[in-house]
Chains A and B, each alone.
Chain A
Amino acid sequence: MSREKRLITRGLGEARPESVSDYEKLGGFAALKKALELPPEEIIAEIKKAKLLGRGGAAYPAGNKWEHLLRIPERPKYVVCNADEGEPGTFKDKLILDKLPLRLVEGMAVAGAVFRAAGGYIYVRGEYRAIQKRFQKALGSAREANYLGRNILGSGFDFDIEIVSGAGAYVCGENSALLNSTEGRVGRPRIKPPHLAEVGLFQKPTLVNNVETFASVPLVLEMGGRAYLELGHPESGGTKLVCLSGHVKRPGVYEIPLGSLTLRELIFDSDFGDGVPGGGAFKFGHLGGQSGPIFSQEKLDAVYSYADLRKAGLSVGSGAVVVMDSSVSVLAYLKKVAAFFVHESCGKCVPCREGNRAVLKRLSDLEIPSALSRSDLEDLANIAAAMSRASFCGLGQSAATHLKTAWKAFPAEFERNLRENAAFGAGAR
C-alpha cells in the first residue's frame, strides 16, 4: 500500500487541468462558496486550527499571516501568489500550475473573498512560459463558470487573477523582490519593515503566499481545520509535496502527510525514491533548495516534519530532497551551490555579493593540496557567519547554510588538503 496521501494531487492525471466540471466532481469550488458566505474570521480560524505552514520555504503560519492582513483597515488589498519556484531541486509548484491549476485558482479566490481584495496576481517564473499559457486557459474557464470575474456566484464580489511573468532571477522569489518585479520593475528586495501586509503591492496591504500554500487552503476548508491538522503533524497539519531528485531511482513529486515518514523511508523505500541507482551508496542529501541544509547518513532517521527536521538541525524549506551518491565530492558539490549564489546574488548588499564570491574562492582553494592553512578555514567560518548575520535579505542570510551544515557533517573533506595536514602526509584520509 502506498503511503502517499493524495489531497492536493487528488485527481491528478484523471481530471483535465482546465476543466471546471472535472474539478467540481472532485469537490472543487465548495470552499470558495463557503468563503463567500461565511465571515472572514471563521475561514481564518479554520486555517489557524489546521496549522498550515507556508510551503514556500520560510514555514510561516498561514493563519497568522491572514489574520494580520485582515486586521489592517486600509484598502485596497491585493492577493499575490508566489510561483517563482527558483530553488534548484524544486518542481512541485510546476505540477500544481500545470496539472492542478484550478485548485490554486480556488485557493487564491478564497483569499480574495476573505479580504474582499481588489485583485489577484500570480507571479510565474519566466522559465515556465509554456505553463503560463496553459494556466491562462484555466483562468478562462474559471471566469466562464463565474468563479472569477464580476459578481462571483451572485455574491456581489468581483475578483480576478492576472498572470505576471518573471524572466530569470532567483531573488525574485523573495517576497518583497517579487512585488517589485510584479510592478514591472527590477526585482531587488525591499527593506523590511514595513511589513508587506501593510505596504505591499503598489504600496497597498498585500498577502503573498506560495502556490502550494494557496492550493492547500480549499482542502483545509473542505475537511475542516481540525481534521487537516490531525492528518499531519501536531505542529504542522496536512500534507507536503516533496520533490525527490538527484541520485535516486524514482525521482519525482510525492505528497505525504507531514510527520509520517523518515528521510530514510523517503529516499530508500520502493514506493518513494527506491534508493541510489547503479549500485551506488548514499553520501549526502540536500534539503529545501540551495539555501537549505546538507545532511549525511547520520540524520537519515529524522522524521519529515517541520518540527522534527528542525530538531535535527535541518529544515523542510521548499520541499526539495536532492540525493548525492558516494561518487560526488562534498567540496565539488558546495562549489556548485556557491557558484549558484554568486550568479543569483542581486548585488545590492556587500555581505552577500562579496561573501558568496569569497566562499567560492576558498572552496576552490580547498581542493588544492596545501593551498590553504587552518587560519584560512577560520576565515571561511567568519565569512559565512557575517553573511548570515549582515545580509540584507533571505538570499544572503541563508546562502551559507549549505556550507555550515556540510562542514559539520564532513569535517575531514574540509581539512584534508590543509597545509598542516599535508605535512603529515594525511592526503589519503
Chain B
Amino acid sequence: MTKTPDAEAGFCRPSEERVLEILDSYGNDPQQLIAALLDIQEASGRNYVDRRAAELASARLKVPLTQVYEILTFYSMFATEPRGRCVIELCESAPCHFQEAERVLSWFENALDVKCGETDADGVFTLSRTSCVGACDGGPAARVGDEVFVNLTRDKVARLVKSLREDDPASREGL
C-alpha cells in the first residue's frame, strides 16, 4: 500500500467522469454545490476532495475556484487531503464527552494503532473528533460516513473496527 497522498501522485479521485456524473445528478446547480462536494468526497474512496475535482466543479458550475475552496475549508466535514477510506469521528460534545468518550477514544487508538487526528499507514482509517452528531441519547457515539454507532463499549469498538476493516457492512448490523 502506498503512503503517498494521491494528490501528489497526480490522480483525480474519483475519476473525472464520476465527478461530472455527480455534478450532473444535481443538475449542475450551484445551490447544490455542498451536497455535490459531499458526494464527490465520498466517491473519492479516501474521504477528501481532490484539487482536480474542485476545479471541475468550479468550471462546470461556473463558480470561482476560490469559492469552492472557501466551502471546502469552512465546513468541517470536508478535507482537501486524503484521509482513510473510513473516517471514524468520535463525538466530543459535552453530553458524549462526560459519558466516557475519552475512554472510547483510547480504545479506538489502540485498535487502530493511530492517534486521534491521524491516518493509518494503509490509508484505511482516520481517527478524529467531531461536534455533536445528534445521537446524545446513545452516548458515547461515533460517526463513520453515513452511519452512527451508539452506546460504544470496548467490545463494540473491536467489532466495529473489524467490520470496517473487512468492508463488510452486513457484519455491523445491530452494532
Contact = CB atoms under 8 A, between A and B. Distances in A.
B98 A91 contact: no
A344 B93 CA distance: 12
Interface in B32-73: 32-35, 37-38, 63, 67, 70-71
B71 A88 contact: no
B161 interface: no
A333 B32 CA distance: 37
Given A94-B134, A126-B75, A127-B134, A167 B34 contact: yes
Interface of A: 85-91, 94, 125-130, 163-170, 181-187, 243-247, 251-253, 286, 290, 320, 322, 324, 328, 333, 336-337, 340, 343-344, 346
A251 B137 contact: yes
A250 to B, nearest CB: 9
Q: Which 3 A-B pairs have the closest CB atoms?
A: A167-B75, A88-B93, A168-B76
Given A130-B146, A168-B77, A169-B75, A247 B34 contact: no
Interface string B111-154: 00000000000000000001111111111000101110000000
Contacts of A246: 94-95, 98-99, 136, 139
Contact of A164 (B32, B63, B93): B32
B31 interface: yes
B12 to A, nearest CB: 21
Contacts of A89: 93-95, 132, 136
Contacts of B38: 126, 129, 165, 167
A130 B139 contact: no
Interface in B3-44: 29-35, 37-38
A163 B29 CA distance: 13
A166 B136 contact: no
A244 B31 CA distance: 35
B143 A184 contact: no
Contact of A87 (B34, B35, B67, B132): B132
Given A91-B135, A168-B75, A252-B137, A182 B94 contact: no
Contacts of A85: 134
A88 B34 contact: no
B3 to A, nearest CB: 27
Contact of A290 (B75, B94, B135): B94
Contacts of B75: 126, 166-169, 187
Given A94-B134, A251-B137, A344-B131, A324 B34 contact: no
Contact of B95 (A126, A168, A322): A322
A333 B134 contact: no
B134 A91 contact: yes
Given A130-B146, A184-B32, A252-B137, 12 more contacts: A86-B132, A89-B93, A127-B143, A128-B134, A163-B35, A165-B34, A166-B34, A168-B75, A168-B78, A245-B95, A246-B94, A336-B97
Nearest to B75: A167
A262 B34 CA distance: 42
Contact of B34 (A126, A127, A320, A337): A126
Contacts of A169: 74-76
Most chain-A Cβ atoms within 10 A of its Cβ — which of B35, B76, B134, B143?
B134
Interface string B69-90: 0110011111000000000000
A85 B98 CA distance: 21
A187 B74 contact: yes
Given A127-B143, A166-B34, A245 B131 contact: no
B136 A243 contact: yes
Contact of B70 (A168, A186, A243): A186
19 contacts: A88-B95, A89-B95, A90-B134, A167-B37, A168-B78, A168-B130, A168-B131, A170-B131, A184-B30, A184-B63, A185-B67, A186-B70, A186-B71, A245-B137, A246-B98, A251-B138, A322-B95, A343-B131, A344-B131
Given A166-B75, A168-B76, A181 B34 contact: yes
Contacts of A290: 93-94
Nearest to A97: B134
A166 B37 CA distance: 11
B93 A186 contact: no
Contacts of B33: 184
A163 to B, nearest CB: 8
A121 to B, nearest CB: 9
A32 B48 CA distance: 43
A348 to B, nearest CB: 11
B93 A340 contact: yes
Max chain B CB contacts within 10 Å: which of A85, A129, A346? A129
B74 A245 contact: no
A212 B31 CA distance: 25
Contacts of B139: 245-246, 251
Contacts of A247: 98-99
Contacts of B34: 126, 164-167, 181, 184
A340 B35 contact: no
Given A91-B137, A343-B131, A184 B74 contact: no
A130 B131 contact: no
B131 A243 contact: no
Nearest to A245: B136
A182 B134 contact: no
